Homo-oligomer: A and B are copies of this chain.
Amino acid sequence: MFTIAEAARRAACPQSTIRYYERAGVLPPARRGDNGYRYFEADDIERLAFVNRARELGFSIASVRDLLRLADHPQQPCEAVDTLLDEQVRSVRQRIAKLQALETRLAHLQRACDGEHPVHECGILAALSDTDAA
């Protein structure tokens, strides 16, 4: 029997996030005391930890819901799990590729400025202003 403060401490996440997860349907409605307070058991905290781990891995709330549903039905084939993970990997690789392209362009831009001069001579702003810039 933990209060939300204890649960938050154990899961190392803000209380507001726990409430949000409940609202978002990724955690089931918590048991309540007569005072209306939420109370958590070890199970609940493990489930919360599962959510936190999945979120750290970048899964969306919707995907986390799917993963939990799968974890709750152990007899099903794991194909859906693999698919979710594969999609996540592809998404992360895509984001990396985009950011790397961005980094290249930004680094290129950095070399357009050699330091001491007024803005109107700055190659950086010139590149941003120029319609024909690479």
Across the interface, do A115 and B57 meet the contact criterion of CB distance under 8 Å?
no
The complex places the Cα of A107 from the Cα of B92 at a distance, in Å, of 11
Main secondary structure of the interface of A (DSSP, over half): helix
A103 at the interface (CB under 8 A from B): yes
**A14-22, A27-35, A124-132: which lies at the B interface?**
A124-132
Q: How many copies does the complex hold?
A: 2
Write out the residue numbers on chain B whose beta carbons fall within 8 Å of the beta carbon of A70.
119, 125
Q: How many residues in A have their beta carbons less than 8 Å from beta carbons of B? A: 50
The complex places the Cα of A125 from the Cα of B42 at a distance, in Å, of 19
The complex places the Cα of A77 from the Cα of B121 at a distance, in Å, of 9
Across the interface, do A118 and B74 meet the contact criterion of CB distance under 8 Å?
yes
Max chain B Cβ within 10 angstroms of own Cβ: one of A99, A105, A110, A131: A99
> Distance in Å from the Cβ of A39 to the closest Cβ of chain B?
20
- Tell me the chain A residues, 70-111 only, with Cβ under 8 Å from chain B: 70-71, 73-78, 81-82, 85-86, 88-89, 92-93, 95-96, 99-100, 102-103, 105-107, 109-110
A50 at the interface (CB under 8 A from B): yes
